[in-house]
Amino acid sequence: MNIKGAIHLCCALASLALLAVLLAAYGVVVPVRVTVVEASLWRLDLVAAPALHNGGDTARLAYNLSLAVAVRNPNWVMSVWRTAPLDAELRFAGRPFAGVQLAAGADRPDRIRAHGKKVYSVSLSASESAPLALERDAAAAEFAREIAAGVFELELVVAGMVKYQVLYPRRWLEVRCPLKVSLSKLKTATAAAAFAIVECVPAFDVDVARDKLTGIIEIQEGRALPLQLAARQQKKKTPKSPPTSSEQNTAWHRSCARPNMAEGDCCEKLCGVCCVLSLFIIIFGLPVILIAAYGGYDTVEVTVEDASLGRLVLAGSNGTTPSSLSYNLSLAVAVRNPNSAIHVWRTAPLDAELRLGDGDRPFALVRLAGAEEEPEGRKELIRPKRSAVYRVVAVAVAFARFEHTLPPQACVYV
């Protein structure tokens, strides 16, 4: 393999490596992971409502507990932004009985850096929860079993909205965390130390851009509604009057004239398309440009731009071979760098040899540039698409034979 082929191969391998790194960094998204790092329970009592004694199926819970939920970004390059409030809902026997906001919304999104995490702590207490829909026999049996064991099985549902870096629009996130919490009589660190970290399981993770009506997530029938989503769903189901022409010119046009797209989602999509195109140009265009510029090189071009002969006389000839030669001439030799990006340096003296006759017999050797006493290294720079012109005058009154000869150079007379 020649040098040019080796350079092409190295550039191709470098481009593939760069493509693999960029795809691994920004083409593959690992969803955020939610864990419950701490849970302490000091009270959980079943308060019997009158409907429960009369054969009804509702009850209320009194509770006092604290939670610490960690949201971790497992991506190794991309950051994640929390763009909406982070809500949590507690369930007993599959029925929600408490809701809390782990983190409120902010003017600026809450950023979670790559391999970083944010921990949100909250305390919940109530002497009487909202009505809890439970079957009477199942509620009594389940609660009696768990209170006798001193360990309650609860389910924590965490819901929020996140935005991944660069290419991806906002995404809704809902996870479910099965908890086993021991009842503690004293508010000490014993219960927290005994609690094992719980990994939450994603319930669903859908693209917000595919949802309808101002970015509110569409919750299917039979799917649980974390915290305030029930009110949001009811608001979404409320029929809306047709928009006026002025409203269409404002809100609808800001959302790309698509009523089923949230305001701002259009900008996110356009930004994502621009990012994809930019990334495509960087991945494929830049290696092509580098390979075209540095993958191969063209040899320098030597041209004789001017040649003037003032004298060329043979003297002392015996009929076959001249014994002496007198000459007087001037030359202008141009060395041109035809490459578009690669520089060329003259690293040694530049010599020229003049020959006469069909046998290419040398009769003069002149130095166009450089000197013997110059140190080795870079002497003279010839920039891309530029030329260096060397002029010399050769004068001699007698023929001189040189042992040193240069290889023939392909020169073009202009």
Return the SS3 of 310: strand
Give 136 or 328, the one with higher predicted confidence: 328
Cα angle 52, 58, 64 (rounded to 5 degrees) comes to 105
In this structure, the number of other CB atoms found within 10 A of the CB of residue 267 comes to 13
Model pLDDT, residue 36: 92
323 phi-psi bin (left φ>0, alpha ψ -120 to 50, beta other): alpha
Which amino acid belongs to residue 249? N
Q: Where are the domains of the chain?
A: 31-237, 301-413
Residue 34 confidence (pLDDT): 92
* pLDDT tens column, 144-187: 787 777 788 888 999 888 888 765 667 888 899 998 888 876 55
Distance CA 160, CA 203 (A): 12
**Which amino acid type is present at position 44?**
L
Mean pLDDT estimate for the chain: 70
Read off the pLDDT band of 119 (50, 70, 90). Answer: very high
Mean per-residue pLDDT for 4-10? 68
> Whole-angstrom Cα distance, residue 18 to residue 280?
12
**High-pLDDT (> 90) share of the chain, %:** 7
Amino acid residing at 85: P
- The conformation of residue 103, written as its DSSP 8-state character, comes to E
81: phi then psi, degrees, rounded to nearest 5: -115, 135
E strand or H helix at 107 = none
326, β-bridge pairs:
313
Q: What is the pLDDT of residue 107?
A: 63
Which runs of consecutive H residues, i.e. helices, occur in 281-364?
286-294
pLDDT for 333-373, tens place per residue? 999 999 888 888 888 888 888 887 765 678 788 888 877 65
Q: How confident is the model at residue 49 (pLDDT cuts 50, 70, 90)?
A: low
- Please state whether the predicted TM-score (pTM) of the whole model is above 0.85: no
Q: What is the pLDDT of residue 302?
A: 92
Which is more confident, 380 or 391?
391
pLDDT-derived band at 377 (thresholds 50, 70, 90) equals low
What is the spatial distance between Cα 184 and Cα 42, in angstroms, rounded to a whole number? 5
Q: Which of 15-19, 215-219, 377-381 has the highest mean pLDDT?
A: 15-19
Q: What is the pLDDT of residues 291-317, one digit of tens each?
A: 777 777 788 899 998 888 888 777 665
H/E segment holding residue 94: none
Cβ proximity of 80 and 107 under 8 Å: no
Please check whether residue 365 is in contact with residue 349, taking contact to mean a CB–CB distance below 8 angstroms: no
Q: What amino acid occupies position 361?
A: R
Nearest partner of 100 among 49, 46, 63, judged by Cα: 63
Higher-scoring residue by pLDDT: 328, 226: 328
In this structure, the strands spanning 201-207 and 170-182 are antiparallel
Q: Are 349 and 371 in contact (CB under 8 A)?
A: yes
Calculate helix-pair angle for 3-22, 286-294, nearest 10 degrees. Answer: 160
User: Rounded to an integer, what distance in angstroms lies between the CA atom of residue 277 and that of residue 100?
Assistant: 42
pLDDT at position 347, please? 83
Residue 414, SS3? Answer: coil
